[in-house]
Chain A
Amino acid sequence: MKVLVAVKRVVDYNVKVRVKNDGSGVDLTNVKMSINPFDEIAVEEAVRLKEAGKVDEVVLVSIGSAKSEETLRTGLAMGADRGILVNTDDLAVEPLAVAKILQKVTEKEQPSLVILGKQAIDDDCNQTGQMLSALMNWPQGTFASEVALDDTQVTVTREVDGGLQTVKLSLPAVVTTDLRLNEPRFASLPNIMKAKKKPVDKLTPAELGLGEGDIKPRLEIVQTQEPAKRQAGIKVVTVAELVDKLKNEAGVL
Chain B
Amino acid sequence: MSNDPLLQPYQLKHLTLRNRIIMTSHEPAYPEEGMPKGRYIAYHAERAKGGVAMTMTAGSAAVSKDSPPVFNNLLVYKDEVVPYIKDLTDAVHEHGAAIMIQLTHLGRRTRWDKAHWLPVVSPSHNREAAHRAFPKKLEDWDIERIIKDYADAAERMQAGGMDGIELQAYGHLMDQFWSPLTNDLDGPYGGSLDNRLQFAFDVLSAIRQRVGNEFIVGMRYTGDEMMDRGLSPEEGFEISRRLTESGMVDFLNVVRGHIDTDPGLTDVIPIQGMANSPHLDFAGDIRAATGMPVFHAAKIPDVATARHAVASGKVDLVGMTRAHLTDPHIVRKIIEKREEQIRPCVGANYCLDRIYQGGEALCLHNAASGREQTMPHDIPKATTKKKFVIVGAGPAGLEAARVAGERGHEVVVLEAANVPGGQVRLTAQSERRKEMISIIDWRMAECERLGVQFKFNTWAEADDVEAENPDVVIIATGGLPHTDVLSRGNEHVISTWDIISGDVKPGKNVLVFDDAGDHAGLQAAEIIAKTGAKVEIMTPDRAFAPEVMAMNLVPYMRTLQALDTTFTVTYRLDAVEKDGATLKAHIGSDYGGINQVREYDQIIVNHGVIPLDDIYFELKPHSINLGEMSHDQLINGSAQSVVRNPDGRYQLFRIGDAVATRNTHAAIYDALRLVKDL
- Is the pair A189, B478 in contact by a Cβ cutoff of 8 Å? yes
- Is the pair B501, A185 in contact by a Cβ cutoff of 8 Å? yes
Residues of chain A within 8 A of B417, CB atoms compared? 77, 187, 189, 192
CB distance from B524 to the nearest CB of A (A): 13
Residues of chain B within 8 A of A187, CB atoms compared? 417-418, 501
CB distance from A197 to the nearest CB of B (A): 11
Interface residues on A, range: 20 to 34
Residues of chain B within 8 A of A190, CB atoms compared? 480-481, 495, 497-498, 503
CA distance in complex: A187, B502 (Å): 9
CB distance from B402 to the nearest CB of A (A): 17
Residues of chain A within 8 A of B459, CB atoms compared? 73, 192-193, 196
CA distance in complex: A105, B607 (Å): 45
CA distance in complex: A33, B502 (Å): 24
Given A34-B418, A192-B416, A192-B459: A186 in contact with B454 (beta carbons within 8 A) = no
The CB with the most chain A CB atoms within 10 A, among B495, B503, B505, is that of B503
CB distance from A200 to the nearest CB of B (A): 13
CB distance from A238 to the nearest CB of B (A): 19
Residues of chain B within 8 A of A186, CB atoms compared? 425-426, 429, 501-502
CB distance from B668 to the nearest CB of A (A): 19
A155 within 8 Å of B by Cβ?
A: no
What is the number of contacts between chain A and chain B, taking CB atoms within 8 Å? 57
B531 within 8 Å of A by Cβ?
A: no
- Is the pair B426, A188 in contact by a Cβ cutoff of 8 Å? yes
Which A209-241 residues sit within 8 Å CB-CB of chain B?
none
A58 within 8 Å of B by Cβ?
A: no
Given A32-B456, A70-B457, A186-B429: A191 in contact with B418 (beta carbons within 8 A) = no
A35 within 8 Å of B by Cβ?
A: yes
Would you call the interface of chain B mostly helix, strand, loop, or mixed?
Answer: loop
Which A93-133 residues sit within 8 Å CB-CB of chain B?
none
CB distance from A57 to the nearest CB of B (A): 19
Per the CB 8 Å criterion, the residue count for chain B at the interface is 24
Tell me which of B453, B456, B503 contacts A188 (CB under 8 A).
B503
A74 within 8 Å of B by Cβ?
A: yes
CA distance in complex: A196, B417 (Å): 11
CB distance from B158 to the nearest CB of A (A): 48
CA distance in complex: A34, B457 (Å): 9
A21 within 8 Å of B by Cβ?
A: no
- Is the pair B503, A30 in contact by a Cβ cutoff of 8 Å? no
CA distance in complex: A192, B419 (Å): 12
Residues of chain A within 8 A of B481, CB atoms compared? 190
CA distance in complex: A188, B480 (Å): 10
CB distance from A211 to the nearest CB of B (A): 32
Residues of chain A within 8 A of B503, CB atoms compared? 185, 188, 190-191
CB distance from A37 to the nearest CB of B (A): 11
CB distance from A186 to the nearest CB of B (A): 5
CB distance from B451 to the nearest CB of A (A): 10
- Is the pair B501, A193 in contact by a Cβ cutoff of 8 Å? no
Nearest residue, chain B, Cβ from A195:
B459
Contact with A along B445-460 (1 / 0, CB 8 A): 0000000011011110
Which B403-448 residues sit within 8 Å CB-CB of chain A?
416-418, 422, 425-426, 429
Residues of chain A within 8 A of B426, CB atoms compared? 186, 188
- Is the pair A73, B457 in contact by a Cβ cutoff of 8 Å? yes
CA distance in complex: A34, B454 (Å): 13
Given A188-B426, A190-B481: A74 in contact with B418 (beta carbons within 8 A) = yes
Nearest residue, chain A, Cβ from B444:
A14
CA distance in complex: A192, B459 (Å): 9
- Is the pair B502, A189 in contact by a Cβ cutoff of 8 Å? no
Tell me which of A30, A35, A196 contacts B418 (CB under 8 A).
A35
CA distance in complex: A213, B172 (Å): 84
CA distance in complex: A33, B457 (Å): 9
Nearest residue, chain B, Cβ from A193:
B480
CB distance from B195 to the nearest CB of A (A): 57
Residues of chain B within 8 A of A196, CB atoms compared? 459
CB distance from A230 to the nearest CB of B (A): 18
Nearest residue, chain A, Cβ from B479:
A189
Residues of chain A within 8 A of B497, CB atoms compared? 188-190
Contact with B along A175-204 (1 / 0, CB 8 A): 000000000011111111100100000000
Nearest residue, chain A, Cβ from B458:
A70
Residues of chain A within 8 A of B458, CB atoms compared? 70
CA distance in complex: A120, B457 (Å): 19
CA distance in complex: A182, B426 (Å): 19
The CB with the most chain B CB atoms within 10 A, among A73, A186, A191, is that of A186
Given A187-B417, A192-B417, A193-B480: A30 in contact with B453 (beta carbons within 8 A) = yes
Which A143-201 residues sit within 8 Å CB-CB of chain B?
185-193, 196
Residues of chain A within 8 A of B498, CB atoms compared? 188, 190
Q: Can you list 8 residue pairs at the A/B interface with Cβ under 8 Å?
A: A33-B457, A34-B456, A70-B456, A73-B457, A74-B418, A189-B416, A189-B478, A190-B481
Q: Apart from A70-B457, A186-B426, A188-B503, what 9 extra A-B contacts exist at CB < 8 Å? A: A32-B454, A35-B418, A51-B505, A189-B417, A189-B422, A189-B497, A190-B495, A191-B501, A191-B503
- Chain B residues at the A interface, C-beta cutoff of 8 Å: 416-418, 422, 425-426, 429, 453-454, 456-459, 478, 480-481, 495, 497-498, 501-503, 505, 612
Closest 7 CB pairs of A and B: A70-B457, A188-B501, A186-B501, A185-B502, A74-B418, A192-B416, A188-B497
